[in-house]
Chains A and B, each alone.
Chain A
């Protein structure tokens, strides 16, 4: 069975600073990988996804993620964080398409003015 680890429960960054959220997965083959963002009291919004091809994936809101097979990682990055990026971020893995997603425990992002 697949699993996802997000080692950072809570990250605090200053507005304008760069951001990297870590995600490691365990799966026998190359999975489909996703990053979702959840604002307080809201549902989940897809930031980006990786299925195959270029290992650097661009998403919405200026986010990108890089798939590294050798490290079983799919870290999320943003060069300059905005106050509106404060939210909880979830990494997820699926064996195929978007079915039966397995989520990490989430990383709460706080942005300081």
Chain B
């Protein structure tokens, strides 16, 4: 049971570099999302997707791009890394039910340092 898989687990970038954080899920979940976790601030939503081809912004979208070409994958792109983007990034997926019991499943996280 792979669940939600994030790669890489650790990454160091120089300011101005770009990179893509990968996220894949094998549960056929429609809904996927990206969060960043910073000390004392909990997790904040960056972008989310309710299905292939559909994405939307969350609370802190600036500096990040996403796309959803397949149900399984939801990559997060940093266009020009800044030290303020040093954080731990979590990808999550869930069933896109309007009602009923659902829960979000989280990946193990990517720890990103921008120097």
Which residues in A have some Cβ–Cβ distance to B below 8 Å? Answer: 4, 6, 9, 34, 36, 42-46, 49, 51, 90, 92, 96-106
Contacts and interface: CB of A to CB of B under 8 A. Distances in A.
A49 B97 CA distance: 15
A100 B33 contact: yes
Given A42-B108, A43-B90, A44-B90, A97 B102 contact: yes
A97 B42 contact: no
A49 B100 CA distance: 12
Contacts of B109: 42-43
Interface string B24-65: 000000010101000011111100101000000010000000
Nearest to A94: B104
Prevailing SS type, chain B contact patch: loop
A100 B43 CA distance: 11
Contacts of A34: 103-104
B40 A46 contact: no
Contacts of B41: 105
Contacts of A36: 106
Q: How large is the interface on B (under 10, 10 to 19, 20 to 34, 35 or more residues)?
A: 20 to 34
A68 to B, nearest CB: 21
B89 to A, nearest CB: 11
Given A46-B103, A98-B94, A104 B42 contact: yes
B106 A97 contact: no
Contacts of A97: 31, 94-100, 102
Given A42-B108, A44-B106, A99 B42 contact: no
Given A90-B42, A104-B42, A105-B41, A99 B96 contact: yes
B107 A43 contact: yes
B84 interface: no
A99 B31 contact: yes
A101 B104 contact: yes
A44 B92 CA distance: 9
A22 B45 CA distance: 22
Contacts of B43: 44, 90, 92, 101, 103
B101 interface: yes
